[in-house]
């Protein structure tokens, strides 16, 4: 549109958006809207202009964000208590997640919150987690004021009933770090003290020294065994009690073998034992464990419906309206739902008409018109003016929330142990025990004095150290490679599930389509000025189609509009400069309809636009399919079975069948249908990957073997899933899948290494020649080579799959 | 050669001191956030100093 090109040259000083007409200038700076100017003024008045020096245009444009959001519910003491970490008479500590935080300027501004709001004592930002911890004096400022201040400068916190569920995991990671620190400290010292054992230094050092060193080692190994290695003992004990074996059992066998032999050696005065190998082993194992536990801190993978719902809702009783917690909603309560708010419970529309966007629940892209007395389901989003509703089901009994009562949501969380590792270690354990027995029997016959020594030596050498290290290191590597490309896995075990996938099910709306777009571009017969008039008319309305029109035309001229009128369910009309503009249904936009607009699949659901009684254009809003859909489907077709489950109508069946097998397209699927469908696929022996976005896919995502949530903003709310993927990276999906498959090859490669080392070690051990220095060299060398190998192999695999 | 006894004791003491210092700083949350302080140090602001002191204690309340 050539009309605007001349004005785009300047950008808003605050938010960096291009300044169009309607922009404001203030103190030599240009702002795209008055909202940005206001924020600038707040910042400027408080002497925080460094905000603009740290980054160019760091601000957040407030136009997209609804201002109707009230924080009234924060006055409720019950909610305040739930949200705060610490509360006393003169100090309250709260932590919020702030999704809009994006640069160093944000940190600067947020950490200087105390200068914007009196009563705030300090604020502390954790940038990676996008979290802010605020301390304030409740006598001087209320929680609501604090949040309102944040919100006024564009940093609205995300407040949900769930709170911060991932705090526990950080504690577990900390515990491992303590264990590593202790093990590393002891390992280093034991190595130094063991060194004399390997050389003939008796000529240099007296016997006393040797004994002192050995007993010091004995002393140093205690914290390693009883603190650092304690988790392995616990885990293998639990496994044995439930009569199955896991990797930790094999590790524990090695640890016990090493320590018994070493204690015996030292106490009997025979030799120095294997304390250095033992502490080194535990040290390396713990590092592997630490890497395995690393996750993407700022992302949340386990949200349930509660995260979606507003914390509080306005309840009306007689004349008085009060903000209450949604959980306190009772049957027959009357509530007010503002524009763009979610409806928290199934209810009945009391007055007027409403447009409800159910795309969140069903995937259906078109808004539904509801009339007085209609039932409105929870999860719908109000598109329009304030609604007055009567609650007929409580939040936990509502249609949407009932989905969560499905057993898929109650299935036991996985133990976090790698399936491959478990399988491999089972063989491993059995082989090692068999080998130890054979060795023992052999020496019992030939030289009974060597039985004890050789059996422990076999257990020591065969410890699956290499195996235990290779899996976490490989998974950690692959996970960070995927993360760099916009695919964030919940945990490293997800890689195995991803590798096993053979069937992929797509959701349509939001996953395969680009949201909010009109497929039909405006008719050429419209002049530029007419387009502007239409945009100006549409901009006054909150109806989704009006907003789409406005977005498509990108209008910004300010026209004096007169006679603007909206007939709900019909259309809008306005007069601009004496020209009458009408947008709406066919009957509303009276006048002759040129045939060219009428020949496409009937006129139902179409919107027409007329200027001065002449219909200029007609179109149906269709969601555009992704541009690269052909590429994605083409690459996946050969290796996977593809399905589409859409909650939407089947208007796009034809287009989609070009890329996907016709018989695998399913439309008008309710969330429950989707869940059941995935279940039936699984029952037929398929490993199903589900890719979806909305709450309507939540059940399917959870039921599937590997659920991926696609989203524009990885920090926004996403349903519980195994992975979160940046929607722009959809095209890389085939590469991700094949990288996961290659991971298995890398692990197998590491297994070959492990077997090789074990063969060398065992050849010493069964003959009774395992000297401490052989073990001390073999152990770290094998660990380091395996780590190097996994690093190089993962990098090679990434390059092969074009992900590096 | 008896000096080795002394040396061992001394090296041990030094190593243990560092271990304990590490554990204490870990406990106080010094390693919780490895990214933000690297940005924070670039802000040249004098009024921030008093709030900084407050932040040091935040670990105790949260944990």
**CATH, residue A599:** 3.40.1110.10
CB contact under 8 A, B8 and A216: yes
Whether A705 maps to a domain, the answer reads yes
Instruction: Please give the pLDDT value at position A133.
Output: 87
> What CATH number has the domain bearing residue A390?
2.70.150.10
CB contact under 8 A, A129 and B4: no
A541 by DSSP, 3-state: which?
coil
Pick from B34, B36, B47: CB nearest A125: B36
Q: How far is A614 from chain B (nearest CA, A)?
A: 60
CB contact under 8 A, B51 and A122: yes
Mention every residue, 6+ apart, whose C-beta is less than 8 A from residue A232.
A248, A251, A252, A255, A285
Q: How far is A53 from chain B (nearest CA, A)?
A: 10
CB contact under 8 A, B35 and A128: yes
Query: DSSP for A434-465?
Result: HHHHHHHHHHHHH-GGGHHHHHHHHHHHT-TH
Nearest CA in chain B to A53: B43
**A698 lies in which domain range?**
485-514+625-741
A632 and A510 in one domain?
A: yes
Question: What's the CA gap between A84 and A93, in Å, rounded?
Answer: 6
Question: Which residue would you say has higher pLDDT here, A499 or B62?
Answer: A499
- Domain end, chosen from A570, A598, A622, is at A622
Task: Summarize pLDDT for B22-57 with one digit per residue, the tens.
Answer: 999 988 888 877 788 888 887 766 554 444 444 444
CB of A650 closer than 8 Å to CB of A511? no
A273 and A185 in one domain?
A: yes
Chain A contact for B40, CB < 8 A? Answer: yes
Nearest CA in chain A to B38: A104
A510 and A631 in one domain?
A: yes
Whether A255 maps to a domain, the answer reads yes
| B47 contacts on A by Cβ (under 8 Å) | 112, 115
Average pLDDT of span B4-15:
87
Alpha-carbon distances of A174 from A124, A129, A169, A479, B25, rounded to whole Å: 20, 16, 9, 21, 12
Pairs of residues, one from chain A and one from chain B, whose beta carbons lie less than 8 Å apart: 77
Question: What's the CA gap between A408 and A412, in Å, rounded?
Answer: 9
| B54 contacts on A by Cβ (under 8 Å) | 121-122, 135
Whether A128 maps to a domain, the answer reads yes
Going A474 to A479 to A482 to A487, the CA torsion angle's sign is positive
Chain A contact for B54, CB < 8 A? Answer: yes
DSSP category for residue A625: E
Whether A750 maps to a domain, the answer reads yes
A629 and A500 in one domain?
A: yes
CB contact under 8 A, B22 and A216: no
The strand pair at A688-692 and A503-507 is best described as parallel
Helices (H), A570-670: 629-637, 653-657
| B42 contacts on A by Cβ (under 8 Å) | 54, 104
Q: How far is A42 from chain B (nearest CA, A)?
A: 18
Whether A416 maps to a domain, the answer reads no
Nearest Cα neighbor of A780 from A310, A287, A290, A294 is A287
The strand pair at A723-726 and A487-489 is best described as antiparallel
A566 and A535 in one domain?
A: yes
* Structural domain total, chain A: 6
Pick from B15, B16, B39: CB nearest A107: B39
| B36 contacts on A by Cβ (under 8 Å) | 107, 125-128
Q: What are phi and psi of A184, to 5 degrees?
A: -65, -45
CB of A350 closer than 8 Å to CB of A363? no
A118 and A7 in one domain?
A: no
CB contact under 8 A, B55 and A126: no
Q: Which residues pair with A25 in a beta bridge?
A: A30
| A51 contacts on B by Cβ (under 8 Å) | none
Nearest Cα neighbor of A504 from A413, A363, A412, A635 is A635
A386 and A320 in one domain?
A: yes
| A124 contacts on B by Cβ (under 8 Å) | 55, 58
- Domain end, chosen from A142, A165, A188, is at A165
Whether A754 maps to a domain, the answer reads yes
Whether A609 maps to a domain, the answer reads yes
| B23 contacts on A by Cβ (under 8 Å) | 178, 181
The strand pair at A347-349 and A375-376 is best described as antiparallel
A454 and A326 in one domain?
A: no
ipTM score: 0.73
Question: What's the CA gap between B47 and B54, in Å, rounded?
Answer: 13
Instruction: Please give the pLDDT value at position A180.
Output: 94
Instruction: Please give the pLDDT value at position B14.
Output: 93
A212 and A265 in one domain?
A: yes
Pick from B5, B47, B58: CB nearest A133: B58
Instruction: Please give the pLDDT value at position A252.
Output: 86
Nearest CA in chain B to A51: B43
CB of A576 closer than 8 Å to CB of A560? yes
Task: Summarize pLDDT for A413-471 with one digit per residue, the tens.
Answer: 554 556 777 777 777 777 878 888 888 888 888 888 777 777 777 776 766 677 777 88
Mention every residue, 6+ apart, whose C-beta is less than 8 A from residue A466.
A750, A753, A754, A757, A758, A782, A783, A786
Question: What's the CA gap between A22 and A60, in Å, rounded?
Answer: 18
Nearest Cα neighbor of A525 from A621, A600, A610, A623 is A610
> What CATH number has the domain bearing residue A100?
3.30.70.100
Instruction: Please give the pLDDT value at position A777.
Output: 77
> What CATH number has the domain bearing residue A703?
3.40.50.1000
A86 and A44 in one domain?
A: no
Whether A450 maps to a domain, the answer reads yes
A426 and A286 in one domain?
A: yes
Q: How far is A324 from chain B (nearest CA, A)?
A: 28
- Domain end, chosen from A165, A193, A212, is at A165
CB contact under 8 A, B43 and A185: no
Alpha-carbon distances of A367 from A164, A356, A372, rounded to whole Å: 33, 5, 16
> Which stretches in chain A have pLDDT values below 50?
1-8, 66-68, 164-166, 412, 415, 519, 521, 598-604
Alpha-carbon distances of A475 from A128, A749, A794, rounded to whole Å: 22, 14, 9
Helix axes of A207-223 and A247-268: crossing angle, nearest 10 degrees: 150
Question: What's the CA gap between A727 and A714, in Å, rounded?
Answer: 9
Mention every residue, 6+ apart, whose C-beta is less than 8 A from residue A434.
none
* Residue in the structure block whose two tokens are 């010091």: A216
CB contact under 8 A, B12 and A112: no
Q: What is the separation of C-alpha A39 from the centre of its chain, rounded to a whole number of angstroms?
A: 30
A260 and A180 in one domain?
A: yes
């Amino acid at each position: 549109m050539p009309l605007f090109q001349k004005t785009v040259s300047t950008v808003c000083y605050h938010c960096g958006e291009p300044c169009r007409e309607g922009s404001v200038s203030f103190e030599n700076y240009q702002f795209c809207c008055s909202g940005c100017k206001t924020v600038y003024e707040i910042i400027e008045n408080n002497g925080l202009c460094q905000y603009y020096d740290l980054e160019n245009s760091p601000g957040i444009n407030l136009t997209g964000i609804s201002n109707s959001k009230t924080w009234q519910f924060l006055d409720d003491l019950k909610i305040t208590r739930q949200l705060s970490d610490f509360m006393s008479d003169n100090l309250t500590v709260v932590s919020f997640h702030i999704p809009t935080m994006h640069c160093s300027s944000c940190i600067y501004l947020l950490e200087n919150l105390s200068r914007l709001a009196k009563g705030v004592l300090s604020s502390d930002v954790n940038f990676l987690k996008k979290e802010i911890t605020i301390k304030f004096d409740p006598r001087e400022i209320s929680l609501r004021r604090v949040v309102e201040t944040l919100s006024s400068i564009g940093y609205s916190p995300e407040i949900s009933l769930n709170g911060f569920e991932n705090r526990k995991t950080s504690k577990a990671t900390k515990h491992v770090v303590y264990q590593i620190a202790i093990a590393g400290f002891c390992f280093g010292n034991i190595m130094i003290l063991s060194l004399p054992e390997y050389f003939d230094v008796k000529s240099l050092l007296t016997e006393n020294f040797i004994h002192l060193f050995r007993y010091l080692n004995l002393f140093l190994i205690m914290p390693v065994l009883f603190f650092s290695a304690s988790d392995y003992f616990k885990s293998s004990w639990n496994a044995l009690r439930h009569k199955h074996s896991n990797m930790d059992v094999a590790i524990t066998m090695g640890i016990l073998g090493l320590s018994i032999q070493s204690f015996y050696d030292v106490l009997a005065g025979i030799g120095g034992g294997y304390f250095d190998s033992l502490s080194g082993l535990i040290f390396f194992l713990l590092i592997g464990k630490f890497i395995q536990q690393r996750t993407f801190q700022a992302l949340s993978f386990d949200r349930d419906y509660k995260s979606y719902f507003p914390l509080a809702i306005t309840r009306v009783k007689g004349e008085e309206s009060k903000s209450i917690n949604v959980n306190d909603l009772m049957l027959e309560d009357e509530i007010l739902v503002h524009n763009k708010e979610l409806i928290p419970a199934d209810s009945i529309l009391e007055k007027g008409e409403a447009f409800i966007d159910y795309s969140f629940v069903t995937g259906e892209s078109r808004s539904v018109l509801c009339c007085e007395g209609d039932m409105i389901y929870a999860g719908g989003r109000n598109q329009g003016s304030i609604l007055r509703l009567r609650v007929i089901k409580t939040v936990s009994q509502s249609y949407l929330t009932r989905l969560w009562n499905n057993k898929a949501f109650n299935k036991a969380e996985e133990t976090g142990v790698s399936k491959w590792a478990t399988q491999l270690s089972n063989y491993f354990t059995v082989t090692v025990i068999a080998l130890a027995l054979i060795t023992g029997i052999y020496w019992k016959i030939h030289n009974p004095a060597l039985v004890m020594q050789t059996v422990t030596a076999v257990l020591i050498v065969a410890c699956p150290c290499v195996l235990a290290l290779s899996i976490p290191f490989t998974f950690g590597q692959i996970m960070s490679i995927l993360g760099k490309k916009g695919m964030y896995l919940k945990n490293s075990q997800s890689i195995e599930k991803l590798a096993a996938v053979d069937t992929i099910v797509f959701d349509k709306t939001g996953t395969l389509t680009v949201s909010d777009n009109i497929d039909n571009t405006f008719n050429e017969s419209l002049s530029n000025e007419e387009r502007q008039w239409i945009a100006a008319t549409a901009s006054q309305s909150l109806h989704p189609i009006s907003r789409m029109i406005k977005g498509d035309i990108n209008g910004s001229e300010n026209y004096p509009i007169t006679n603007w009128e909206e007939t709900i369910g019909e259309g809008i009309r306005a007069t601009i400069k004496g020209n009458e503009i009408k947008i709406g249904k066919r009957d509303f936009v009276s006048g002759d309809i040129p045939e060219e607009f009428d020949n496409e699949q009937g006129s139902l659901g179409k919107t027409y636009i007329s200027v001065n009684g002449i219909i200029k254009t007609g179109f149906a809003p269709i969601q555009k399919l992704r541009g690269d859909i052909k590429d994605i489907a083409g690459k996946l077709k050969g290796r996977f079975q593809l399905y589409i489950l859409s909650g939407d109508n089947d208007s796009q069946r034809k287009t989609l069948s070009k890329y996907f097998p016709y018989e695998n397209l399913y439309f008008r699927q309710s969330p429950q249908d989707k869940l059941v469908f995935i279940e039936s696929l699984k029952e037929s022996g398929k490993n199903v990957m589900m890719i979806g976005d909305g709450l309507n896919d939540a059940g399917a995502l959870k039921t599937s073997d590997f659920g991926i949530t696609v989203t524009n903003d990885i920090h926004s709310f996403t349903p519980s899933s195994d992975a979160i993927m940046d929607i722009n990276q959809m095209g890389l999906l085939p590469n991700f899948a094949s990288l996961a498959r290659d991971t298995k090859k890398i692990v197998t490669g590491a297994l070959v290494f492990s077997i090789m080392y074990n063969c060398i070690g065992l050849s010493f051990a069964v003959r009774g020649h395992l000297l401490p220095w052989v073990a001390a060299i073999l152990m770290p060398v094998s660990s380091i080579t395996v780590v190097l190998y996994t690093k190089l192999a993962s990098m090679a695999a990434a390059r092969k799959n074009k992900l590096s | 050669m008896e000096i080795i006894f002394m040396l061992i004791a001394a090296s041990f003491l030094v190593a243990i001191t560092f271990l304990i210092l590490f554990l204490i700083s870990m406990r106080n949350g010094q390693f919780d956030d490895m990214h933000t302080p690297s940005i924070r140090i670039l802000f040249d602001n004098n009024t921030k100093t008093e709030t900084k002191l407050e932040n040091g204690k935040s670990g105790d309340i949260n944990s």
